[in-house]
Structure formats: C-alpha cells, structure tokens
Structure 1
Amino acid sequence: MKGILLVNLGSPESPEPQDVKKYLGEFLMDERVIDVPLWARNLLVKGIILNTRPKASAAAYKKIWWKEGSPLIVLSERLKTKVQKQTESPVALAMRYGSMTIKKGLQELVDKGVDEVLLFPLYPQFAMATTETILVLAEAIQKEHFPNITLESVPAFYNKPDYIDVLSQSITKHLEGVQFEHLLFSYHGVPERHIRKRDITKSHCKIDGKCCSTPSKAHEFCYRHQCLEVTRLVAEKLQLKSGSYSTSFQSRLGFDPWLQPYTDRTIERLGKKGIKNMAIVTPAFVSDCLETLEEIAMEGQEIFHEMGGKQFTTIPCLNDDEEWVLLLSKWINKWSKTNVLSS
C-alpha cells in the first residue's frame, strides 16, 4: 500500500524563549545547516547563538503567532487535510525539526498499512539545508526503524511547468488591482560554500554571474540556479518587463559570504532609487512562516518606508491555495497509480 509523507521545516512549540531556544538548538546544530566541524558548530551555536538569539527570536515569533499555533504548522496541516481529500492514498505530515518528527509521520503511515512511501519535501528548490537534510534523516530513520518499507522522494520541482503556472496564477491573483513599479523575488539565503559543495562537476559553480545561466549537470543540485530559474520562468509567464523585477536572498547568518544580493539591502536600494510601490514574493517557501510574515512583511516594509517608499505589497506563499492543492494531488495520484513522479 502506498502513502505520502509531506515534510516541511518545523517550528517551536510556542513563541516562548525556552521553546524557541530548544528549536534553534536542533535546527542550527544540523550539520547541513551550519556545515562546519562539530567543535566549531558547538562553539558557535551553544556558546554564542543560544545565549543571545532566543529572546529576540521569541519576540519575532510572538508578532506572527496565531491563536491556532505556529502559522507554518497550521498552514501545512491545512494543506495536508485538503490534499488528503483529493487523494486515495494516506497522507501524513511531518517536520524536519520540532516535535512533529519524520519518525512519527512514517509511523502514522505504517500503522495504516503503508509499505511504499513517497517522501515529499515541501521545497521547490534543492538545498543542503532543506531537501538534503530531510532525505538523509528520513533514509536513516527508515533503515533503523522501518526496514520493511520503501522510500521514494520527490525531486526539486522548481521548473515544472504546472508549478510555474500555479505560482504565476497566485502572484497575479494577489496583485490584482495593485499598482507596483517593481516585483522582488526573495529567496531564503544560503552560504556560497553550500553551492560549491553540491557542485557535482566540482568546477562549474563559480557564482560569477554566468555559471547559473550556462547549461550544466551542476544545476540539478544548484540552489542559486534553481532560484534564478523560477524568477526567469515566472517573469516570462507574466510578461514582466526587463528592469521591473529582480531576485534577492534573505536571512543570512554569520560572517561568511552568503548568496547576494541581500533582500534587506535590495529593498533599501529600491526605496532610495525612488521606487514608491513595490511587491515582493517568496518562492523558496510554500508555507508562510517567520521568514515571510515577520522578516519580509514587517521588517521589509519598515525598511522600504524608511527609504521613502509608499506601498509595500507582500504576496502570500502558496499555503493551501486551491490550485496548489490540486497540483500536489495530481502529482501524488499519478505516482500512486503509475509509480511515475511529476514530469
């Protein structure tokens, strides 16, 4: 019997500092998030970050926390519920970090008689700190606790035409009646070294402005290329004029070079340039979360207004949008019937 495990990032149990500290500890100690030797990661995370950041992060979570709980969890659960209504195979939901573990999600499916699992990381683009860490952990859990089930995973779907259609429709819907001079595509940032580490050619990814637009096998695991490709494909779909849109990267940490241009500085630059009305979309996320609701919708808007901007329109993630639900369900149903993933 086949079943599907949707996996998202995760969330603290509450916006209180002690729960945020616990969550950050698990998240930041992941060797694929902060990919430095264990001694250095311990020093950075346990010695510095967990003694300074939880209080500020908790304050940020409190700004966006819903009565039902964490927005990311609530929205992911809504998505799972809607998808389950469109599919015959059992669907479970898990998080990479926090109490909604992958092990619990797999156990839920096994208890329903599932022995073939489609692991569906809810990330359009591949990255070490998102898709890869989910796949590696899920495989380890399967081998140790569920040796009688098989796992198959959904590859990055950033360039699938039907995904681009759904994303473009969502952007169009939320910009209806909105006058904007610039549309910013903001993606979660990663250190530049992550890009080079996952270059399967060991030579292509130079992050020089040309490599991401030059065909290469490296693009299969290149987060930067995949982000730029989403922007390009959506811009073509929406017939955006050159200069009316751009790409940036948010949420950097530490002092190492991260993917640029940075979102906060891009918003600042656009405001200084005289742009009065801008819109921003965050296609690295399928569910709204701290990084979209607080960092972009609140902090980003504040920066824009400080620079003289007037209207700052944030476009929601796909969340449980009906077209997104139908697309996910179509992909799942195709796999359930044919063992073929979306093409």
Structure 2
Amino acid sequence: MKTSDFYFDLPEELIAQVPIKDRSSSRLMVLDKKSGQIEHKIFKDILDYLNPGDCLVLNNTRVIPARLIGEKVDTGGKIEFLLLKRTEEDTWQTLVKPGKRAKVGTKFSFGDGKLIGEVIGLAEEGSRIVKFYYEGIFEEVLDELGNMPLPPYITERLEEKERYQTVYSKHNGSAAAPTAGLHFTDELLQKIKDKGVEIAFVTLHVGLGTFRPVKVDDVLNHEMHSEYYMVTEEAAQKINLAKSNGKNVICVGTTSCRTIESAADENGNIKESSGWTNIFIYPGYKFKLVDKLITNFHLPESTLIMLVSALCGKDNVLNAYNVAVEEKYRFFSFGDAMIIK
C-alpha cells in the first residue's frame, strides 16, 4: 500500500484560514460507507444522523498555548518552541526551530526571563527534551507567554483563542485541537441529548503525529508517535451499552476513534483505562467499536485520510474528496465536516 495512493489535488484557496462565525453552520458532507453516495447538508443537520440510544464519543482534551517565542540566553538569537508532551513535572518533549541552536546544555529565555528552558536531551525526529525553570504555576506562566499552536497551513492570525478549542474542552495537554469537535455548540449538544443520544467523553492529548507527514513510500513502514489517552468508567459503560443494544457508536474525530479502538479488547468491549497509544489505522483494519465517524477534510497522503479510508474504502473517500474540491468545501482545521454513516 503506497502513500501516493492517498493523494488528491487540493487548491490552496480551499484551506480554511479562519473559523466561521457560527460553529454549527459549516457545511456537512454525508458519505454512505457502503454505497459511496454523497449528500450535502449543514452541520446542525447532524441531528438527523443520530438516533436515541446511540453513543456520541467526544475528545475533551484542551489545547495548551504550546508555542513559545524566545531567545538564546547568551547570544539573544531568536528561537521557537512547540511543546509536544510532558515527560516529567517540568520537562517536555519539544520541537525547536531552528534546531541547530538547541544543543544539549543550551538555555533559552521567554518573557524576559519569566520562563527559562534548558535543553537536557535529544528525542525522536529531531525534537528536544527541555527542562523549564519558573516561579509560580507552570500553566499560568504558559498561559501568559504562550501562543496557540496553529498548524503550519494556517497563516492568518487567530482573533479568539477559544475558537481553537471545542466548547467541551476540559483536560489540558494537546499541541493541536481535535478539530472535528469545533463544529459543536452547547445548544447543538443539548439538542443531541434531548433526542436520547448518550454522550461519552474520552481524552486523547494530540501530539507530534498531527504535525508529522508520512515520509515513507510504503504506508506499512510509517511509525506513529505515542499519545496519552484516558477512558473513564462512565464513558466505557455508555459505549458498551450502545453496542450491546445494537445501537451506533459515533466518534467525533480521528482522535476519539483512535482512543476507543486502542482501549477496546478483541471482543469489542471497552473498560476504564489510560496509557499511551501509537495505533495506526489504515485500510484493512477491522474496527472493534466505531460505526460512524464525524470528521473534517484532511491533508493528502496523511495518516488521517488513511484512517477515514479504513472505515469506508479508499475509492469512496477519494471520490468524496474530489467532489468536495469541486463543490468548494473548506478544508482542514477550520474547514467543513463530513459524517461517514
């Protein structure tokens, strides 16, 4: 299976640069995974594809302002840090640009010395292990000095930080948003509950894998980075109940999908658990729990489009993406949505 099998031609002007005013008014493509049939709707129509007793699974991770701009302590040379994941209390795996300035032992200053980072080791893909020194509470220092870590294809400035958070975000720890969830409003979630749909919250802290392209020709040679996940007992019970009653489990986003597929056993049962997952889902994968998926439109040749293809077939997905281009859907993080049913 070649990485190039998942290529499609995407005009740059279709990459959404800013979120639309009303989260739930984005467009919604409905893709039937068996027939490949396509319908065009508005996101708030999602209610029509959720039924009483179904379980909607949401990732309640919260994006931290993980992008730090500072300078090298001795020379004043500019540096940019992207915090990927916490390895110990004050130690983080970090992407550093330019990396050549970040040798082991080098110190960097942020906010006129309010935060000092020292490179103490090297990690995979050229990232660094950085220990931070500060006074007070790290999260508060980071909130003051850090910027939202928007993906590199978004070049416009984000006016409101909260627009890169889901309305149900709760647990700090992600370097990127679970963007399929950005379409939901509190009002829409209430309507979903009122319809008798159970909502299960899981957590997966999105890390380096989101920023990492597939660089190998053969898909099977790609290695995913590990990301931390949590499934509560309450969430597990709701998911298991839906399955045992013959109802649908609908994941919002590839991160929710990867979380519950990682936590499920071979019989499709899920229980309270937490840990690290590097699950890589591509065509040929047999889903244990997921029946439907709500997702955005992803990058060509990415692990995300491979996961979507595993659920409804590569040909169906690429045809849908080509239709999305023709119909001028908005792509990527702030773009439109798709439900695979």
TM-score, normalization by structure 2: 0.32
Which structure's residues are more often strand, by fraction? Answer: 2
Q: Could you say which structure has the greater relative contact order, defined with CA pairs below 8 angstroms and 6 or more residues apart?
A: 2
TM-score (norm 1): 0.32
Name the structure where helix makes up a greater proportion of residues: 1
